[in-house]
Structure 1
Amino acid sequence: MARREELKGKVAIVTGASSGVGWQSALRLAEEGVKLCVTARRREALEVLQKEVEARGGECLVVPGDVTVAGDVRWVVSACLQRYGRIDILVNDAAVQTYGYFDQLPWEHIQRTLEVSCLGYLRFAHAVLPHFRERGSGHILNVQSMLSEGAAPLLSAYVAAKHATLGWAKALKLELHGTGIQVSNVLVPSVSTPMFDHAPTQFERKPVPVPPTYDVDLAARAVVKCARKPGRTEIPAFLQGTMLLWMDRVAPFVGNLILGRYGRRMQQAREPLHRPDGNLFQPVSQGVGAYGSVPPTPGWKRFTAVAGLAALAGGAVLGARGLARAVR
């Protein structure tokens, strides 16, 4: 059983804190008494977050930086140590995604997505681990995605990055066994963040998350839960979480059929949009804060979807078993 940690007075670096899960996780950690060092490319957005944290009685250091630039990463870690004298938790959250068929994506989009959404996590962990090893304690808390275990069309580069990041985190956990340094992962479903308002698309239509969409605070509360009980993998949602993994094990053809046939349609709104580069290479001004333009799916719709998918998967499994018996 994971040991419960007292969070008050601990120091955390939160990457990707200018919006979405990073922003909301920083607020939730500050409520627990965690001293923050927040980083992202947008200084102005981070300063808005800093004011909100301080208005609630918390401490927050702003250090802008790009997770793809090694010098920026080292500077964030150094500035945090200079201010607080220690680092207890690294919350890896910075990520980007790009929408398009794999063979039609510009190669620089694929490379940039991997640089930010995978190698950015590795760079920060590589920078903080010497400090953690010296102290004999520390916690690398990775905000992952349900796409770390699954897949969706139009997001091949992001899916590749998330699979790689989860695999790295599992290997790192084994390497750090017995050192006092913990590794945790939060597998986040589709949440109502500005990520979809930032992402480039090749389809001239506004990208939206695969439904259902959860409140971003669901992910932030899971981050706090992992911070309290490190060394675990947290799956905060049921329909787009626990149930999805179960279905992938017992009836993978159900998800393949739905996403294969309807996946592109599910991820595009009717609203026309020309956004070929989004925030991949330069930050954008819009989308500051936890929430984006796509609201959370109402609870009754999620319940209806659960019932429908459960019936579909159950029927498919029973049908497959009946066919197997008939063949015998």
Structure 2
Amino acid sequence: MGLLDRYRQFEALTEEEVNAGKRAEAAARRARELEQVPPLDLSRTTWPGVPPPDVVGAITFAARRGLHRYADRDAGALRGELAARHGLDAARIVVGDGAAALLESATRALVEEAGDELITPWPSYTLYPLMARRAHACPVPVAGFGVDAILAAVNPRTRLVALCNPNDPTGELVPLAELRRLLVALPERAVVLLDEALRDYAVSEAVDDTLTLLEDHPRLIVFRSFSKAWGLAGLRVGYAIGGPGSEPLLEALAPSLGVGDLGQAGALEAVRGHGTLARSRGARVAALRTELRDSLRELGYDVAPSEANVLWVAGPGGGALAAKLQRLGVLVAPGAALGDDTRVRVTVPHTPELAGRVLRAAELARDL
């Protein structure tokens, strides 16, 4: 096609039609450019970077010192460091193979009979219904993330309330005052499992504000993880904190042979040598989260408020949006498996450059 022929093809088109065609060509050209770079995986909630060198060194030293020996079953050094960090008695802390394993152990220990119910807001962490069934309890997902929705589902069969706070995948946070209201209103036999794996990304409250509730509410157990902002997911280390009198229950949640020596060494060095690491990462992500959320909204996307390292995003087509973004080199978690097929979960990137890449892909996906 010659130059003159190229321009003659536009003579019968309106200006709006010409511009639409040019936009489509530009979008296709940018899409081809994005296909030439490695995919950006934002489908996981773990920290994407490697641990600090001295944490890796502590793990290496523990391995060289002797994998032929059993680890400390009680994780005494790590529990002591965590107790000092949170200002608690070490007997009120148990270390386990990740927060997820401790949550499952707590569910099995607390379910008294088949048919007991576990209430959880929905969408939320997909482990909760599964761990209820494994303990022969009935999962009761309730729509919405507020305290009133939870209380409306409470009945004599209610044994557990599993609350992911901030919530995965929506990013919502139940604030301290509302948590207190929930604990006061629940019946005596109901226990709250408060999953705070993403707590370091919340900036509207201090990270340990919720621990103040433990003194007055013995039916609360708080779960924390080294897998997220701490960036030690491969070690599978987490811990649970209870109030006064919770010591026998917490002891029952501990792994029979303790947490592996390498996991203990890595988590201990992280706490001792990098005590502010998780919070500093959380603050960095929170700033990028706000900018990315606002920019996505300007592009026409529906983005829920978030206090986590994820954004719960609705765009054209729900699951189709995940497929479009994947074609553009950005991997996100489709919402269908997480409780809402109209949305996708986007993990907030940890650099402005990567956030910019997400925005470019989102703009292209909108026009595809």
Question: What TM-score bracket applies, with the shorter chain setting the length?
Answer: 0.3 to 0.5
- Work out which of the two has the higher radius of gyration on C-alpha atoms and give 1 or 2: 2
**If the length of structure 2 is used for normalisation, what is the TM-score?**
0.37
